[in-house]
Chain A
Amino acid sequence: MNPSKPQSRHQLKPTTTQGRLVLLGINHNTAPIEVRERLAIPSTRLADATRTLLHQPGIREGLILSTCNRVELLTLQDDTGEAANTQPQTKADLLRFLHEYFSVPSSDIQPHLYEFREREAVRHLFRVASSLDSMVVGEPQILGQVKESYTIAREVGAVSTHLESLLQRTFTVAKKIRTETQIGSSSVSIASVAVDLARKIFGSLQGKTVLLVGAGKMSELAARHLIQQGASSILVVNRTQSRAEKLAADFASPTVQTEAIPFDDLYGQIPRADIVITSTGAPQKIFGRSHGQHFLHARRNRPMFFIDIAVPRDVDPRMNEVEGCFVYDIDDLQQVAAANLADRSREAAVAETIVSREVDKYHERLQSRDAVPVIKALQQQAEELRQAELARSQSKLASLTPEQRAAVEALTRSLTAKLLHPQLTALRESTRPKDTD
Chain B
Amino acid sequence: MIMSLLWLRVAVFLYGIAALAVLPAALYDRPRWRHIAIPATIAAVLFHFVSLAEMLNAAHHRMPVDTHETQTLLGLLLALAFLLVYWRYKTVSLGVFILPICFLLGLVPAFHPSQESTTVPFVHTGWIFLHVALLLAAYAALLLSLLASLLYLIQERRLKQKSPTLTWLPPLETTDQIALKALLFGLPCMTAGLLIGSLIAQVTVGASYFRAPKILLAFAMWLVYIAMIHIRRIAGLRGRRAVYLSSFVFFVVLAVWAANQFSSVHRFTTP
Contact = CB atoms under 8 A, between A and B. Distances in A.
A and B are interacting partners: yes
A290 to B, nearest CB: 18
Contacts of A364: none
Contacts of B241: 323
Name the residue in A196, A303, A320, A343 with the highest tally of chain B Cβ atoms < 10 Å from its Cβ. Answer: A303
Interface stretch (B55-63, B67-75, B168-176, B249-257): B168-176
Given A197-B164, A201-B159, A323-B240, A185 B29 contact: yes
Interface stretch (A11-19, A255-263, A328-336): A328-336
A200 B159 contact: yes
B261 interface: no
B238 A301 contact: yes
Contacts of B115: none
Interface residues of B, number: 27
Interface in A312-346: 320-321, 323-324, 326, 328, 332, 335-336, 339-340, 343
Interface in B232-250: 235-241
A152 B29 CA distance: 35
Given A185-B29, A303-B172, A323-B240, A200 B164 contact: yes
Interface residues of A, number: 29
A186 interface: yes
Contact of B159 (A180, A185, A197, A321): A197
Contact of B171 (A179, A182, A203, A332): A203
Interface in B148-162: 155-156, 159-160, 162
A299 B238 CA distance: 12
Contact of A324 (B28, B171, B239): B239
B179 to A, nearest CB: 13
Contacts of B30: 180
B181 to A, nearest CB: 14
A332 B28 CA distance: 24
A301 B235 contact: yes
A201 B172 contact: yes
Interface in B15-42: 28-32
**Which secondary structure dominates chain A's binding surface?**
helix
A202 B160 CA distance: 15
Nearest to A335: B162
A328 B235 CA distance: 26
A200 B172 contact: yes
Given A301-B236, A303-B173, A324-B239, A200 B155 contact: yes
B163 interface: yes
A418 interface: no
A336 B165 CA distance: 8
Contacts of B29: 182, 185
B269 interface: no
B167 interface: yes
A340 B165 CA distance: 8
Nearest to B240: A323
A78 B164 CA distance: 54
A199 interface: yes
Contact of B174 (A203, A335, A343): A203
Contact of B162 (A179, A323, A336): A336
Interface in A182-201: 182, 185-186, 196-197, 199-201
Interface string A288-318: 0000000000011111000000000000000
Contact of B163 (A186, A301, A324, A339): A339
Given A180-B32, A335-B162, A339-B163, A200 B171 contact: yes
A343 B173 contact: no
Contacts of A185: 29, 167
Contacts of B237: 301
B164 A336 contact: yes
Contact of B173 (A196, A201, A323, A326): A201
B28 to A, nearest CB: 7
A244 to B, nearest CB: 29
Contacts of A326: 159-160
Contacts of B165: 336, 339-340, 343
B24 to A, nearest CB: 11
The 10 A-B residue pairs with the shortest CB-CB distance in the complex, in nearest-first order: A300-B236, A203-B171, A301-B236, A203-B173, A203-B174, A332-B162, A202-B173, A201-B172, A323-B239, A301-B238
Given A301-B238, A320-B160, A323-B239, 18 more contacts: A179-B31, A179-B32, A185-B29, A186-B167, A200-B155, A200-B164, A202-B171, A202-B172, A203-B173, A299-B236, A300-B236, A323-B156, A323-B238, A324-B238, A324-B239, A326-B159, A336-B162, A336-B164
15 contacts: A179-B31, A179-B32, A182-B167, A196-B164, A200-B164, A200-B172, A201-B159, A201-B171, A201-B172, A201-B173, A203-B170, A203-B171, A203-B172, A320-B160, A332-B162
